[in-house]
Structure 1
Amino acid sequence: MRIIKFALLGVLFYLPALAQAHEIKEPQRIVALAPHIVENLFAIGAGERIVGTVDYADFPQQANDIERVGGYYGINMEKLLSLKPDLVLAWKTGNKAEDLAYIEKLGIPVAYSNPNQVDNVADELRKLGTLTHLQTKANKVAKQFETKLNAIRRAQEGKPKVSVFYQLWPEPMMTVGGNTWINQLLTICHADNVFATSDTDYPRISIENVLVANPEVVIIPDEKSKKPQPKIDWRQWPELPAVQHNQFISVNADLLHRFTTRMLDGLTDMCGKIDVSRQQIQASK
């Protein structure tokens, strides 16, 4: 549950990402305070400059060897300072505000990453390129991202909508509202999120709520967790269209829940699985 919150809180609102880029000299010792920042730095060729990061920053493989300075629970300032960073890249809504304020008070340059739209990933890559003086590589990676994203969108155009329930977490049961990153991805796949009109971004719901919403497909992200996730046997409710058509999809949370170039791999996979479900549902009608 806490892992998901740490991975997704950044979609709540957007602040200008890396807004202080023009004030910072070329950094050589970077502390990156979010898994998606680490991935994107490696993607543009700046991964070797990362001297500190947070829990769950596990891609690419080299990221596992980077010193940990904290996680969703906060930042260990003593560890951070011992690394002598010349730049801290932070996640405004994924890191504690008091920690970030303290780092700034110490005079360490801080820049912020806060993508909340799918297209923002390309913007983030370019801004990281500006910060690290790797603009050429960053522009290339950003352009590749945009080209692939546009191709996915074109491939999904005109397909019939299918109603889906995204089971973000089983206990307490949570899903995603219409304002979230995941809802944007579902929309690209021409899937209608049955909880898109929820008043909150990550509503807690009940079995009864799902039965009333009547989804044709249930999507379950495979989320890393130190404790086994409880399973919900939806087949106990045969009146549910997803049960009647046997439409249950598993997706990779590490890909879909992070604001990185790999998100498109997860999106391609999810759209493809939704396509199969769509065809099977139509064939059974």
Structure 2
Amino acid sequence: MMVRTLLGSPRNSKYSCRGGPMWPLAASRPGRPHGGAPTITGHIPLSPVLSGILAWCAGQIGRNHARATHRVAPTFILCWFLGAIVTAFVLSCGGPSQERPTGGAVKSSSEGPPARIISMAPSITEVVFAMGLGDRVVGVSDFCDYPPEARKKPKIGGLVNPNMEAIVSLDPDLVIALPNVTHESLFRTLRHLGIRVLELPNDTLGDLFGTIRAIGKATSSEAAAEEMVRRLETKFDEVHRKVALAPRRRVMFVVGIEPLFVAGSGTFIDELITIAGGENIAGDSISKYPQIGIESVIARAPDVILYTSLNFELTPEQEAEAKKLWSVYPSLPAVREGRIRGLEADYVTLAGPRLEMGVEQIARAIHPEAFEQRGQGAE
């Protein structure tokens, strides 16, 4: 038994544990505050810290786990144990922070725009390169693999275990990271060394726009930042207009199987579903990525079930496997109508410029009829 989660790319790095199919769907004990209908239970937010730990687990397990294996390996048990501890710790701490100056000098303030940038997350790396700042990047995380040029940059460690020595040795004048309470000591040390640190969240589309603009301001690239925001907003408006007259379909966006996790409220995925003419069945969740039982899925009756290449490879064989997984629940409208659709993970699960393509992929999956006159799917 394994768990696949929304943590990165389909290449055993940023997000997922790659392996065989996951059976069966986990069931949770439903509550009934909504007119007797079961509600989502077992809310477990996937914090940046937990994301990092599960990404590390992916690396450990993915190297040795055969695709057909279904046993619970000791390493996997350790991963979940660590995840539970860190999640509890994160929940007990305050929310994410932005840049917090300390007594240390700030190189970029006195020497102009930063010339040596380190990105500590794949989504940030994509933004920085898309703004034309790739030549200034001197280091990236182990999981930064897009654009291809990013793979050639020196590595500074993973999401959960950044290497202080590697970072300092690259002599950066700007480090950009996701908020992470377990990295506060690292960030504090970097600031005392005179290195500017930006902590930029990426949970929502508002966060993404704020991150783009903050990076633009920090690098004196405001025009490029505004152009990126404009392109994203234009695409979102275009897609929304395209499906405006289509019936709103109930959508379940699967981010983890066995147990079943879905995208909930307070996430950019939830917002993309709305833009694309759907209604997220977990839009009333308390946490961002709640665990949901099959009773709740049946009660909420999704018209469309979306999964990504994190869960199954997007090949004809794996698409058939995904449909087979859900075929045991024929009462679900998505199963009856054959609306179980796969998406490219990197287009829809990383808050970055490629959401311009991802939002159309989601809309085409929910309302293919609205795009029949526009050729094939988004690139």
Per-residue CA shift, 1:183-240, capped at 9, x if unaligned? 1111111211112222322111233332222211111111289xxx996711012122
1:268 to 332, 336, 360: 360
Which stretch of structure 1 is more off in the superposition, 60-69 or 140-149? 140-149
Question: How far, CA to CA, are the matches of 1:60 and 1:19 in structure 2?
Answer: 29
Please identify which structure carries the higher strand content: 1
1:126 to 200, 213, 222: 213
2:331 to 227, 232, 239: 239
Name the residue aligned to 2:276.
Answer: 189
- Equivalent residue runs for 1:30-41 within 5 Å: 30-41=117-128
Question: How far, CA to CA, are the matches of 1:221 and 1:48 in structure 2?
Answer: 32
C-alpha root-mean-square deviation of aligned residues, in Å? Answer: 3.2
Name the residue aligned to 2:113.
Answer: 26
Q: CA deviation at 1:17?
A: 5.8
Change (3 A) 1:178 1:137: closer
**Does the 8 Å contact 1:217/1:277 carry over to 2?**
no
**Does the 8 Å contact 1:72/1:94 carry over to 2?**
no
2:172 to 80, 85, 88: 85
Which letter maps to 1:4? L
Which letter maps to 1:74? N
Question: Percent identity among equivalent residues?
Answer: 28
**Does the 8 Å contact 1:31/1:89 carry over to 2?**
yes
Quick check: 1:170 aligned with 2:265? no
Quick check: 1:4 aligned with 2:7? yes
**Does the 8 Å contact 2:141/2:155 carry over to 1?**
yes
TM-score, normalising length: structure 1: 0.84
Which letter maps to 1:75? P
Which letter maps to 1:76? N
Aligned residues: 277
Name the residue aligned to 1:283.
Answer: none
2:134 to 34, 43, 47: 47
Quick check: 1:160 aligned with 2:252? no
Q: CA deviation at 1:104?
A: 2.6
Q: CA deviation at 1:14?
A: 8.1
Larger radius of gyration: 2
Which letter maps to 1:243? V
Change (3 A) 1:186 1:17: farther
Change (3 A) 1:190 1:65: same
Change (3 A) 1:224 1:203: closer
Question: How far, CA to CA, are the matches of 1:32 and 1:90 in structure 2?
Answer: 6
Quick check: 1:75 aligned with 2:162? yes
- Equivalent residue runs for 1:100-115 within 5 Å: 100-115=187-202
Question: How far, CA to CA, are the matches of 1:85 and 1:159 in structure 2?
Answer: 50
Using CA pairs under 8 Å that are at least 6 residues apart, name the structure with larger relative contact order, 1 or 2.
2
Change (3 A) 1:69 1:95: farther
Question: How far, CA to CA, are the matches of 1:219 and 1:9 in structure 2?
Answer: 22
Which letter maps to 2:348? L
Which letter maps to 2:354? R
Name the residue aligned to 1:215.
Answer: 302
Question: How far, CA to CA, are the matches of 1:198 and 1:180 in structure 2?
Answer: 11
